[in-house]
Amino acid sequence: MSSRKKPARGTAKPVPKKRTSRPAPKRAAKPAAPRSGAYADFMVQAYAMENDARDRYTEFADQMEVHNNTAVAQLFRKLARIEGLHATRIVREMGWRKPPAAAEAWMWRQSEAPESVPPGELHYLMQPWHALELALACEQRAVRFFTGISGSTAPADVKRIAREMAAEEREHVQLIREWMKKVEKPDPGWDRDPDPSLYSE
């Protein structure tokens, strides 16, 4: 097992705040037109997606903490908190008293939840820029996911909310791009370890 303790570099700069509580979306203000059953199903899925992303970022933050890469750990913790807030917002907007049981049991049949970083992408020497790069790819996948639904044959209310969500995810893409400009871009060879774990004579 390798559990090398290396502080991450290039982390001190302040980063722009990714908005965690957006202005109340238009959809919340609209008088409730009768919603299709598919709408509730879709929101359960959206909730599950945010939750999944939060859990994955939390796991990653734990991994980085164990390996003393505190800068990246903090960044993942922050991203987890943001995804958690999104999940809570869905609960509030849907008027659920507690998260729906169906969401807890949700399994993404075909693949991973679009907004979750694929497992196995971490490196113990990774830097905040890498973490943001992973987050950026997630937000881009989420844009594609919601755009796909907004252009599908789903009921009109589902398509409308999917369009709004796609727009929000596009905003996140922009925010993360801004954030990436503020952190140091890793040098080539960032993963070179002067004291490698491989046995050598």
Choice from 2, 30, 98, 153 touching another protein (CB under 8 A): 2
* Residue 6 makes contact with another protein by CB under 8 A: no
Site for another protein in 104-133 (CB under 8 A): 104-105, 107-109, 111-112, 118-124, 126
Q: Which of 153, 69, 152, 145 is nearest to 112 (CA)?
A: 145
Choice from 1, 29, 105, 107 touching ligand SF4 (CB under 6 A): 1
The Cα 113–Cα 183 span in angstroms is 27
Under DSSP, is residue 124 helix (H, G, I), strand (E, B) or coil? Answer: coil
**How many other C-beta atoms are found inside a 10 Å radius of the C-beta of residue 197?**
10
Q: Binding string to ligand SF4 for residues 2 to 21, with x set by CB under 6 A, is what? A: x-------------------
* Residue 194 makes contact with another protein by CB under 8 A: no
Question: How many CA atoms within 13 Å lie on the side-chain side of 25?
Answer: 18
Q: Is 27 left (phi over 0), alpha (psi -120 to 50) or beta?
A: alpha
Residue numbers of the site for ligand SF4 (CB under 6 A)? 1-2
What does the binding site for another protein look like in residue numbers (CB under 8 A)?
A: 1-3, 55, 59-60, 62-67, 69, 101, 104-105, 107-109, 111-112, 118-124, 126, 197-201
